[in-house]
Amino acid sequence: MEIQKNENEKIILWIYPILILIYAVFDIVANILPQILAIPKVPSTALINNFFILTGISLYLTPINIIVGYGLLRRRYWARYAVIAAMLTFPVPVFAQFLRWGVHSLNYYAIVVQFLFVVFTLLYFSRRPIKTAFGRIHPFRFISWHGLLVVVIVLLSFWPIMFLLYWKVHVAWKFGYPFFTDKPQIITLKGPKSPERLPKYREVRLLNISLLIPKEFSIRRLRRIEGKSSTWMVRLQNRGVSTKGIILFGNSFPYDEFFPVEEIPNLLGHVSKFDTEKYFLTNDWNPDLVVVRTLMRPKGGEGFNVKEIHIDDRKGFLKGWQQGDGIIREFSLYDREDTQCIAGTIMSTKGYLDENDILTIISSIEFLKPENPGQAGKHYEEGLRLYQSGDILQAQIEFANAYYLSPENADYTFMLAKSLYIKDQEFLDYTYIKDLLNKVLRLKPGHKGAQKLLKEIEPRVPKEAKKFGIR
């Protein structure tokens, strides 16, 4: 019986270091070499990585993997101390992950399994037969080579936390970045229902949202993001000889250019887009976010502040500052189901749109059920009726909806371009109108209306650079 027990222990003492060395090779090939040589990472490694996470082998850093794996295979007594030291540092990487990626990133199931692995490993390597298997039983002493190894393992396990702390001190001291960011103030808004506010605004149902905009605002540009047929961006601006107000908004995640939204679940855990943005705005320990927030923060902006807004079944964020004579507000809104997102910017000269106007516009935003392309004709017919009756601004909305739902229809594209060309407007986006007309001619080369309108606006295109008065 005793012989059988010793044989089982020998098998475990072979399997354990072999797994450690396999993980070291895996980590070098899958993670370290691609970073050093700037080559693509090995795809489809999630299952392998999850196996080592759940077994607890991933608690070892790669250099320690190699040292400990070699020591265990050769039955060096110091290897037993190295195993115990690595297991005792188990809380450190969990805490570092919590600081950097937030509580949502913690996989509690994996943590429990790892904790049990740590407990069983410590109990196993503390048994006298295992001590005897390494040939020598020595009391632990810090002033020794195996004591030095334990200290090195402990220090290496703390390097992520030390790096995060160093980074915070560095940016706070050198760049004056706040050591801890202020938490967003929570404000609750109600959708505008009082009729006395409506005379100043008109309600538009554009793409998959409805909102109130000032009556004199017109569409300047509607852009579909290439390669993403459901992603769009709209620019609205006041009519007149000078630019006083601009509303820009789209349905893409506001930080997509920094962190593509499809990668977020892998970094933070499966959280909502709202919680993801809150993480970006409030996390104090991720160095990458310092860079993002620095780029986000306006240069010379006065009174920059962030608010968390709640509007009935919608919630989001509002960032505001003043720059010279301009008032700038960036906003984002998410629906209750976390399936739709609107993010944008409202810019205004002083005295044109006040804070109440901006909050009215934002609180009026509601998400609509996305329409199918078959509804494009209905919007086009309604646009023609409005255009012929002289309501050009509302006709723009209908033509924009038709164009968005069916962008390859030459008639829809032409009428959108024609409705955007308002002759009493001094500053228009002539380049965009020209692009629409060129698209019409690609779709229908003999389109007389597009040819005529293109000749009329072409002399004005070089003046486009003068049109933006607000940045």
DSSP class of 42: P
Question: Both 166 and 190 in a single domain?
Answer: no
Q: Is 185 helix (H, G, I), strand (E, B) or coil?
A: strand
Asked if 341 and 202 touch (Cβ cutoff 8 Å), the reply is: no
Q: Say what the pLDDT of residue 61 is.
A: 76
Question: Both 203 and 271 in a single domain?
Answer: yes
Give the chain's residues under pLDDT 70: 1-8, 136-140, 193-198, 226-229, 257-267, 269-270, 294-303, 423-427, 462-471
Cross-strand pairs, 344:
249, 331
Helix or strand (DSSP H, E) at 214: strand 209-214
User: What single string gives the DSSP state of each residue in 276-336?
Assistant: HHHHHHH-SS-HHHHHHHHHHSPTT-EEEEEEEEEETTEEEEEEEEEETTEEEEEEEEE-T
Report the chain's C-alpha Rg in angstroms.
31
- Nearest in space to 219 (alpha carbons), one of 410, 428, 460, 373: 428
Q: Say what the pLDDT of residue 317 is.
A: 95
For 158, the domain range is: 2-171
Cross-strand pairs, 327:
322, 348
Encoded tokens for 470:
């607000």
CATH number at residue 354: 3.40.1000.10
- Nearest in space to 460 (alpha carbons), one of 426, 424, 419: 426
Question: Both 136 and 201 in a single domain?
Answer: no
pLDDT digits (tens, 9 = 90+) for 230-259: 788 999 998 877 889 999 999 888 877 666
Question: Both 152 and 232 in a single domain?
Answer: no
Encoded tokens for 448:
């007389």
Encoded tokens for 340:
């739709």
Long-range Cβ pairs for the range 298-302 (8 Å, 24+): 298/323, 298/328, 301/328
Backbone angles phi, psi at 398, to 5 degrees: -70, -40
C-alpha distance from residue 307 to each of 315, 320, 432 (Å) = 11, 9, 34
CATH number at residue 387: 1.25.40.10
Asked if 399 and 386 touch (Cβ cutoff 8 Å), the reply is: no
Q: Say what the pLDDT of residue 468 is.
A: 39
Place of tokens 């004591």: 147
Q: How far is residue 124's CA from residue 28's CA, in Å, rounded to a whole number?
A: 28
Question: Both 228 and 148 in a single domain?
Answer: no
Answer with the one of 335, 370, 405 that is the final residue of a domain. Answer: 370
Question: Both 163 and 204 in a single domain?
Answer: no
Asked if 85 and 150 touch (Cβ cutoff 8 Å), the reply is: yes
Question: Both 379 and 422 in a single domain?
Answer: yes
Torsion angle (degrees, nearest 10) of CA 179, 180, 185, 186: 150
User: What single string gives the DSSP state of each residue in 385-441?
Assistant: HHHHTT-HHHHHHHHHHHHHH-TT-HHHHHHHHHHH--TT-SS--HHHHHHHHHHHH
Question: Both 355 and 398 in a single domain?
Answer: no
**Terminal alpha carbon distance of the chain:** 82
Other CB atoms within 10 Å distance of the CB of residue 413: 27
Q: Say what the pLDDT of residue 265 is.
A: 56
Backbone angles phi, psi at 48, to 5 degrees: -65, -45
Answer with the one of 315, 345, 370 that is the final residue of a domain. Answer: 370
Question: Both 94 and 199 in a single domain?
Answer: no
Question: Both 120 and 249 in a single domain?
Answer: no
How many domains in the chain? 3
Q: How far is residue 398's CA from residue 386's CA, in Å, rounded to a whole number?
A: 9
Q: Answer yes or no: pTM beyond 0.75.
A: yes
Q: How far is residue 270's CA from residue 58's CA, in Å, rounded to a whole number?
A: 22
Q: How far is residue 380's CA from residue 386's CA, in Å, rounded to a whole number?
A: 10
Question: Both 356 and 385 in a single domain?
Answer: no
Answer with the one of 311, 335, 370 that is the final residue of a domain. Answer: 370
Q: How far is residue 275's CA from residue 164's CA, in Å, rounded to a whole number?
A: 22
Residue type, 99: L
Question: Both 336 and 392 in a single domain?
Answer: no
Asked if 438 and 447 touch (Cβ cutoff 8 Å), the reply is: no
CB neighbours of 240 closer than 8 A, spacing ≥ 6?
Answer: 216, 425, 426
